[in-house]
Structure 1
Amino acid sequence: MSTVTRTITEPLRTLTLRPESPEGPEQSQRPQQTTSAVKANKDKDDEYPYAWALPTFDNKTYPPLTEFKHKDPGLEALKHENPREFLEGAQVSSLTPKFGSDVSGVQLHKLDPRGKQQLARFVAERGLVVFREQDFQDQSPEWMLNEWGSFFGRLHIHPTSGHPADRPEFHLVYRDMSKSLNYEFTDRFSSSVWHSDVTYEEQPPGLTTLFLFDSPESGGDTAYVSQVEAYNRLSPSFRAYLETLSVVHSGVEQANFSRAGNRGGTVRREPVENVHPLVRTHPVTGHKALFVNKQFSRRIVGLKVEESDAILNLLYDHLAKGVDFQTRVKWTPRAVVLWDNRITAHSAIVDFDSAQDGRRHGARITPQAERPFLRNV
């Protein structure tokens, strides 16, 4: 019997809030502002060339997401005789042998549809690709959303995060001297939280784009882990058992966190829970990957609580400690990072002081992909 995603239709459970943020260290709001700091920051914002992309929160609500048919653009590149034609003349290096690449000499905004198809396949194969020295952030917001993001899938509107005014399809990460939309632990050794984005949706994101308008000279890197390699490191018998399991992913805790007054206090859509296979298959490469993360995975269907917790905690620990299938991206000016959210997890690294090191301001474009599956039916 094949394992596929199914939507939970019974009423959502109310969950007790955990001390960590429901979406990891890029996300929540804990403002500590003084009058002088607010004024200084406002003056700085007035002169800021990317002020259009500063975060806002509104009370607009949206209906539940509906199912849509998704065809990954990378499937077309499987037919191309030279699927890396778009990289001709570029400098390409591997971040690690099996995971992650670094590219210079290609301008993303100049890619035609054929080039974007090849790009989708390349990101699926490498999991994560950093493109340096881009003019991406200087393109119009309309181009970013309509010509770029929509090519890879239906654009996701985050239910709780800040976005630029009238452009809810951008998900923003932001921290400066007077306000923070990130989460920082004060009662733990580290603020790192490994997660894949919004996996509680029926159709979670696929190829994801993140770029920074402004960032500190050092610090604020992003760590990534290959969930394909994490799966491959497990013993064959354990992999076979995991492939029989499904996991509940929930957005309830995230919504409750915002309703408690955090991160703007906004909930644009009522939260959902969905059941996804614990191991999923990528539609382009056919590679299998673990599909669990500590932020949104809640329990394994059909197991006792102790059994579920033991397996999930083992896998969370496996992902967090797997330095030989992780990589760390150092942000440089005008870098754009693309990753495949179906097979990759990540964590922000909050190791900078915005009062001394500067503002960190970025935007994520998050197209949704297919419903997760182990065996396509």
Structure 2
Amino acid sequence: MSALPLDETGDVLIKPLSAHIGAEIHGVDLTHPLTPSQVSAIRAALLKWRVVFFREQFLSHEQHVAFSAQFGELTVGHPVFGHVDGHPEVYSIAKHRKATRFEGEPIRRPWSGWHTDVTAAVNPPFASILRGVTIPPYGGDTQWTNLVIAYQKLSAPLRGFIDGLRGVHRFTPPPGAAATSEFVDAVQRRSLVSEHPLVRVHPETGERALYVSPTFLKHVVSLTARESQALLELLWEHVTRPDFTVRFKWEPGSLAFWDNRSTAHLAPTDIFDLDFDRQLYRTTLVGDVPVGPDGRASVSIEGSPVEAAAAFALN
């Protein structure tokens, strides 16, 4: 019988959760500053496993921000939908967020709801750090997928075709649903539209990731509407294959830290069939401008880059 695949780096214990993505990290207390070796071990695990999880970390907003700042510069909570009062770096992920709810029943497809955070911006966040506070006793799991392995598992001819393609990302309601007034007001106040490569070269590892956020990517540049639809639906179906994913069951005090450059994730919808409340809080770290295999960087069509929270507070 083989041993459990654990990786011990000093006092940091890393426990992988699936073949391609996800690991739990034990042996650290996130309420206090980490040592340089702990920061290094966590960052290495993030690059390898794409999303890492911590349990029983009961952080305040201030401690959440302090933990996040050890890995990069924090953005404002959300560049379009705001932040928690008094905490410009923190965004509330509540069960009934008015700004991101829609009217009507959206068309449900296998990839519905999957997304990479804020890809409508020209410099999407490098990472997102989500903290569970009020958690249902069951339901409400979040899933992540590995966009690097998804790219690698495509056929060589298809990889060669999409390596030079680019797509337009923006905030819009899902197909079949209508925007609420809160959503329209928020998007009009801070319109963000960007053109990104369909394949992104990871700035730290050099790996290629299939950068096709299903919620935000609307069409492929230079293709006809039908060609674009067919290609994107093929890619979206591919990136959400179960064998590329990990599913996380939240508990109070759980924390998920994911690399936004190489993952997409799916927020739960089963919580709306339950009477339980659900409240999480997220911070994000300032990201760079994506670059494709051809060396071409993303470009902004509308809006400006996502600012650091410190810069946002001065405006």
Do Structure 1 and Structure 2 share a fold, with TM-score over 0.5?
yes
Rounded to whole Å, the distance in 2 between the matches of 1:259 and 1:374 is 32
RMSD of the TM alignment (CA)?
A: 3.0
For residue 285 of structure 1, give the secondary structure of its aligned residue in structure 2. coil
Q: Report what 2:116 is aligned to.
A: 196
Rounded to whole Å, the distance in 1 between the matches of 2:101 and 2:209 is 27
Rounded to whole Å, the distance in 1 between the matches of 2:116 and 2:15 is 25
Instruction: Indicate how the Cα distance of structure 1 residues 181 and 88 shifts in structure 2: closer, same or farther if over 3 A, else same.
Output: farther
**Counterpart check, 1:124 vs 2:43:** no
Percentage identity across aligned positions? Answer: 31
Q: Report what 2:20 is aligned to.
A: 98
Instruction: Confirm or deny: 8 A CA contact 1:159 1:266 kept in the other structure.
Output: no
Structure 1 residues without counterparts, runs of 5 or longer: 1-83
Q: Report what 1:282 is aligned to.
A: 202
Q: 2:64 aligns with which of 144, 153, 156?
A: 144
Instruction: Indicate how the Cα distance of structure 1 residues 181 and 112 shifts in structure 2: closer, same or farther if over 3 A, else same.
Output: farther
Instruction: Confirm or deny: 8 A CA contact 1:104 1:133 kept in the other structure.
Output: no
**Counterpart check, 1:298 vs 2:298:** no
- 1:96-245 to structure 2, matched below 5 A, reads 96-108=18-30, 109-135=32-58, 137-138=59-60, 141-145=61-65, 148-149=68-69, 151-161=71-81, 163-175=83-95, 183=101, 186=105, 193-245=113-165
Instruction: Indicate how the Cα distance of structure 1 residues 196 and 187 shifts in structure 2: closer, same or farther if over 3 A, else same.
Output: closer
Instruction: Confirm or deny: 8 A CA contact 1:149 1:155 kept in the other structure.
Output: no
Shift >6 Å, 4+ stretches: 179-182
Instruction: Confirm or deny: 8 A CA contact 1:230 1:289 kept in the other structure.
Output: yes
Q: Report what 1:246 is aligned to.
A: 166
Instruction: Confirm or deny: 8 A CA contact 2:12 2:26 kept in the other structure.
Output: yes
**Counterpart check, 1:273 vs 2:189:** no
Q: Report what 1:350 is aligned to.
A: 269
Q: Report what 1:331 is aligned to.
A: 250
For residue 369 of structure 1, give the secondary structure of its aligned residue in structure 2. coil
Which residue identity is paired with 1:134? Answer: Q
Instruction: Indicate how the Cα distance of structure 1 residues 306 and 98 shifts in structure 2: closer, same or farther if over 3 A, else same.
Output: same
TM-score, normalised to structure 1, is 0.67
CA displacement, residues 262-305 of structure 1 (integer Å, 9 cap, x when unaligned): 35954584212111111011122221110011211111111121
TM-score, normalised to structure 2, is 0.79
Rounded to whole Å, the distance in 2 between the matches of 1:128 and 1:147 is 16
Structure 2 residues without counterparts, runs of 5 or longer: 1-6, 297-315
Instruction: Indicate how the Cα distance of structure 1 residues 89 and 142 shifts in structure 2: closer, same or farther if over 3 A, else same.
Output: closer
Which residue identity is paired with 1:364? Answer: R
Instruction: Confirm or deny: 8 A CA contact 2:101 2:180 kept in the other structure.
Output: no
**Counterpart check, 1:363 vs 2:281:** yes
State how many pairs are aligned. 284
Instruction: Indicate how the Cα distance of structure 1 residues 337 and 205 shifts in structure 2: closer, same or farther if over 3 A, else same.
Output: same
Instruction: Confirm or deny: 8 A CA contact 1:173 1:181 kept in the other structure.
Output: no
Q: CA deviation at 1:339?
A: 0.5
Instruction: Indicate how the Cα distance of structure 1 residues 156 and 114 shifts in structure 2: closer, same or farther if over 3 A, else same.
Output: farther
Q: Report which of the two structures shows the higher radius of gyration computed on alpha carbons.
A: 1
Rounded to whole Å, the distance in 1 between the matches of 2:49 and 2:215 is 24
Per residue, is there more strand in 1 or in 2?
2
Which residue identity is paired with 1:112? Answer: T
For residue 262 of structure 1, give the secondary structure of its aligned residue in structure 2. helix
**Counterpart check, 1:340 vs 2:262:** no
Rounded to whole Å, the distance in 1 between the matches of 2:85 and 2:183 is 16
For residue 310 of structure 1, give the secondary structure of its aligned residue in structure 2. helix
Instruction: Confirm or deny: 8 A CA contact 1:258 1:264 kept in the other structure.
Output: no
Instruction: Confirm or deny: 8 A CA contact 1:215 1:360 kept in the other structure.
Output: yes
Instruction: Indicate how the Cα distance of structure 1 residues 131 and 157 shifts in structure 2: closer, same or farther if over 3 A, else same.
Output: closer
Which residue identity is paired with 1:214? Answer: T
